Structure 1
Amino acid sequence: MISVRARILVPVLVMILLGDALISWLVLRDSHHEIEEVYDAQLAQSARLLQGVLRQGDAGEADWERLYQAFDQAMSRVGVDGVAHPYETRLTFQVWRSDGELLVRSAEAPVLAAPPATLGAHDLLDNSNEWCAFLLADPQQGLLIWVGERDDIRQDLIQRIMRHTLWPTLIGVPLLTLVIWLVIGWGLKPLRSMARKLRVRQTGSLHPLRLKPLPSDLEPMQTALNRLLLQVEELLARERRFIADAAHELRTPLAILRIHAQNARNAATAEQRHEALDFLVSGVDRATRIGSQLLTMARIEPQLSDPQRSRVQLTELVREELAELTPLALNKGVDLVLEGDEECWVETEPVALAIALQNLVTNALNFSPPGSEVKVVIGDNRLSVEDQGPGIDEADMERLFERFYSRGNANGAGLGLAIVEMIVDKIGCDLRLYNLRQGGLCAELTLSQARAS
């Protein structure tokens, strides 16, 4: 891809060239017309000057002849003496009586059989030469005065004037291009500096950019890059934490599984083999739960960085989750009970809340004895999970949310309540654990009430 400077400069130059060409064409057209008008005005002025001279020739025909000759010489000496102007033209003239009789004409004037029929400015063609002329009538003396100049000479002078007008444009556009190129380069210098500093950064460096000073247009870019670097760093931190957690927690179960497998292989009796295989199956189940919980944490943690809240019918959500957990409750011989308001609406992230509820109910099932019940109570924007297990000592209450802390359950992964704590922190609700008077533990979630739809 071409550079930013070229991407900016090429369209700018194209627009400048097109605009300059259009403006130059308009200027040339209007200038040509105005110069033509100036030369036509000069012809009219010369005709009136000749009229004034002729009115001084009342003394006789001889005086008129001398006046004609003097005027012809004066109008034909363009460029002869040293004070001539480069834009002067050679004027010619003819004079007729009102009846069409030719009285006099200059040597270079076109030969006309009769005076032109049009008074004022007009064009005529004579011997392949075009003439620009002006015809003036003098009723006082009964004369027709004609003054003209060759059009090719006039156009040559006009072209010289136009060329002198265009030279500044032809020279100025390349100079302007150079100036624009340098100015754009100066304007893009901070961007090149940013790119250069990014190139020399170490490959694994995720430190925020600290480029000062920066133009206001580049500040959002630096902010966006720093945000991206922070997201990459958080992602890598989650991956490292997941790998460390998995390595930490799966190392012991895998070692125990290997021991149980060796015991099963070396068992002397069928009873010993069955016992070792039972331990092996239990160990596999625990390793599966640990892996499942770790994957749940890895999946839910980035999702909670920007929770998508919506209006949720809490009773319906709880009923669906309990239906999914019913097989686990039946396997443990524990009853699941739902109590509370049928029309409770909350404002929350439904997927995250469902995962938190699953972990709370699963945790209650793990600590409930067979024949007991786990009760889920809904009411007053609260969601409570109550079990009939042994409860928790007050001294251990604060450690329940630590990762891999699983007191009183050898098969637990120690991640369920850690996942719940992470979820409630992200979706903005409160979690409280306390022992029930009749025995057992209650986990109570306080949710945000939904606004009326």
Structure 2
Amino acid sequence: MISIRTRILAPTLLLMIVGSLTLAWLAVRDSHREIENVYDAQLVQAARLLQGVLQQAPPQRDWPALQEALETALNRSGQGILSHPYEMNLAFQIWAADQSLLVRSETAPVIEDVPAPGLHDLMYQGQDWCGVLLEDKTLGIRIWVGERDDLRQDLIQKIVHHTLLPMLLGLPVLTLLIWALLGWGLRPLQRLARQLRNRPHSSLDPLPDEPQPPELEPMRSALDHLLEQLRAMLDRERRFIADAAHELRTPLAILDIHVRNAQQASDPQERAEALAFLQQGVGRMTRIASQLLTMARLEPGIQENRALNLTELMREELAELTPLALRKDVELVLDSTDDCQLNSEPASLSIMLQNLISNALAFSPAGSEVRVHLSRHSASQMRMQVLDQGPGVSEEALQRLCDRFYSAHNPEGAGLGLAIVEMICRRLGLTLNFANRPQGGFCVEVLIPVGGS
């Protein structure tokens, strides 16, 4: 996996280099054109200065002396205090009105056909020249001033190089500065990674509450939330293991005794009795294991809420438990005034109904009934009641019904059914109540918000 520094720095540098080179190319192109225009303007200016000098000269001009003076004045590049490396090396020519040559500097090209007035380029002996021709009809002369294009291009290249060189030299320096600044910007992330790396492997404590950049606060919050979830998961795992070890230790010891009794039985009747006790113990352990697994499955976030019809769900659960009720000779009755629509977890509600109805069947005498009643308690709540005709519960046992592994007068029970019901009610925001019925029997009441959990 590419590092964050590289993922940020590589595109940034690529964009900076490409952008800088593109801007430099555009600047060079525009600068070259502008410098050409500047030099052309200087040619025009030099031609006009030469025209002004000729206008002030006496009518009878000494052209050889004038040529010498002009060459001395115009071609002193690199001489004297006022010399400059960007001076133009000018050449000049002057023709009379009849196109006869009056004056020509030694370096000027030979122009046989006098060009029209204005800027123009020409080639002489394989060398390009840039020049301007100015016509003075008053004096009856034509003045041409020009310079070699290669000398002009050398000067332009020097100017361009002096312009580009600082930028080219600055790119590596700028790259190093960006690298250093990026490292400084990523330092909080490196510090957070170091904290995580140096933590003990078994530590699930929240990260140190130190000031973090706004970009890292969501990451630290997410890590703290994840650590909290891991801690809760480990707590549930430890609790599950402790519950299983606590509850299964004694039944396993009893099963071992029954197995030994069956092996040592002297007659078939004793062996059958020991095997019956063994079968009963296996059944109880199966119920305990099932209830423990049910509790383990009821973890936050496993189920998802969805719209459901509670009346239909209750009807399905009663139909599923009907064979158990028939075996115990108990009648199951659903008493619902209307359909109840809500948004909740179907699986959790099904487990709750199964445990409540199974618990009621366990304490119901033969020939009795277990009634499940659903009615509206208020504008925002529905009331579900599971009513049986059993012996009821003592006041002392009433306070412990939801304790784990507590079974009131039911040796076959695992003592987890109502604990699971309480867990589901607490998770879904339901209200759970227990009461002995005045006419005999027991009532479990659950108040369900109509708006869902």
Q: Identify the TM-score tier after normalising by the shorter chain.
A: over 0.9
SS of the equivalent of 2:401 reads helix
Is residue 27 of structure 2 the alignment partner of residue 27 of structure 1? Answer: yes
Quick one: which of 161, 166, 186 aligns to 2:164? 166
Q: Which residue of 2 aligns with 1:110?
A: 109
Q: Please name the residue that 1:149 is paired with.
A: 147
Cα distance in 1, alignment partners of residues 113 and 57 from structure 2: 24
1:301 counterpart SS class: coil
Give the AA of the match of 2:89.
R
The residue identity in structure 2 corresponding to 1:94 is Q
Query: Which has the larger displacement, 94-103 or 160-169?
Result: 94-103
Q: Which ranges in structure 1 are unaligned for 5 or more consecutive residues? A: none
Contact 1:54 1:67 in 2 (8 A): no
Once the two structures are superposed, residues 339-395 of structure 1 have per-residue CA deviations (whole angstroms, 9 ceiling, x without a partner) of 112422233222111111111011111111122111111111221111111111122
For 2:379, the equivalent position in structure 1 comes to none
CA distance in 2, matches of 1:395, 1:359: 22
Query: What corresponds to 2:267 in structure 1?
Result: 269
Aligned positions of 1:184-223 closer than 5 A = 184-223=182-221
Q: Which amino acid aligns with 1:133?
A: G
Contact 1:348 1:448 in 2 (8 A): no
Unaligned runs of 5+ in 2: 377-381
* Correspondence for 1:376 among 372, 377, 380: 372
CA contact (8 A) 1:35 1:158 kept: yes
Letter in 1 for 2:61: E
What residue is the counterpart of 1:53 in the other structure? 53
- Shift, 1:396, TM fit: 1.6
2:248 is matched with which residue: 225, 231, 250?
A: 250
What's the offset of the Cα at 1:259? Answer: 1.3
Question: Which one-letter code corresponds to 1:427 in the other structure?
Answer: L
**What are the superposed Cα offsets for residues 129-154 of structure 1, whole Å, 9 maximum, x if unpaired?**
00011111112112211100000000
Deviations 1:276-310 (A, max 9, x none): 22111111110000000000000112446xx6333
Aligned counterparts of 1:79 and 1:14: Cα–Cα separation in 2: 43
* Offset at residue 258 of structure 1 (A): 1.3
* Deviations 1:236-292, CA, capped at 9 Å, x for gaps: 111111111111001111111111122222223322222222111111110000000
Residue identity opposite 1:130 in structure 2 = D
Describe the SS at the equivalent of 1:216.
coil
User: How far apart, CA to CA, are the structure 2 residues paired with 1:80 and 1:303?
Assistant: 90
* Distance in 2 separating the partners of 1:377 and 1:334: 16
**2:95 corresponding residue in structure 1:** 96
Contact (CA 8 Å) 1:347, 1:448: kept in 2 or not? no
Quick one: which of 313, 325, 330 aligns to 2:321?
Answer: 325
Cα–Cα, structure 1 residues 6 and 346, in superposed 2: closer, same or farther, change >3 Å? closer
Contact 1:120 1:134 in 2 (8 A): yes
Asked whether 1:363 is paired with 2:359, we answer yes
Which residue pairs with 1:290 in the alignment?
288
> Could you list the per-position Cα deviations for residues 215-251 of structure 1 after superposition, in whole angstroms to 9, with x for gaps in the alignment?
1111111111111111111111111111111110011
Which residue matches 1:177? 175
- Normalising by structure 2, report the TM-score: 0.96
In 1, the alpha carbon distance for the partners of 2:96 and 2:328 equals 137
Q: Which amino acid letter does the alignment assign opposite residue 96 of structure 1?
A: W
Runs of 4 or more above 4 Å deviation? none
In the aligned structure 1, how far is the partner of 2:81 from the partner of 2:158? 20
Contact 1:311 1:450 in 2 (8 A): no
Whole-Å separation in 1 of the counterparts to 2:254 and 2:368? 31
Measure, in 2, the Cα distance between the counterparts of 1:347 and 1:28.
71
Q: Report the counterpart of residue 41 of structure 1 in structure 2.
A: 41
CA deviations on 1:301-323 (whole Å, 9 max, x unpaired) are 2446xx63333211110011111
SS of 1:401's equivalent? Answer: coil
* Separation in structure 1 between the aligned mates of residue 337 and residue 354 of structure 2, nearest angstrom: 20
**1:272 is paired with a residue of what secondary structure?**
helix
Contact 1:348 1:427 in 2 (8 A): yes
Query: 2 CA distance for matches of 1:344 and 1:212?
Result: 50
**Structure 1, 3-12 or 292-301: larger mean CA deviation:** 3-12
Partners of 1:33 and 1:336 lie apart in 2 by 100
Q: What does the per-residue CA deviation read over 1:141-178, in whole Å, with 9 as the maximum and x for residues that have no partner?
A: 12211100000000001111111111110111111111
Deviates more, 1:51-60 or 1:241-250: 51-60
Q: Is the deviation greater in 219-228 or in 310-319?
A: 310-319
For the residue of structure 2 that corresponds to 1:210, the secondary structure is coil
**Is the partner of 1:399 in helix, strand or coil?**
coil
TM-score w.r.t. the length of structure 1 is 0.96
User: Structure 2: which amino acid aligns with 1:272?
Assistant: E
- Looking at structure 2, the residues matched to 314 and 80 of structure 1 have their Cα atoms a distance apart, in angstroms, of 107
Q: Secondary structure at the match of 1:346?
A: strand
Instruction: Please tell me whether the aligned partners of residues 77 and 85 of structure 2 are also in contact (alpha carbons under 8 angstroms).
Output: no
What secondary structure does 1:400 align onto?
coil
Number of aligned residue pairs: 447
Counterpart of 1:388 in 2: which secondary structure?
Answer: coil
**Mapped partners of 1:353, 1:294: distance in 2:** 17
Query: CA offset at residue 81 of structure 1?
Result: 3.2
Note the C-alpha offset of 1:450: 4.3
Alignment RMSD, CA only?
A: 1.5
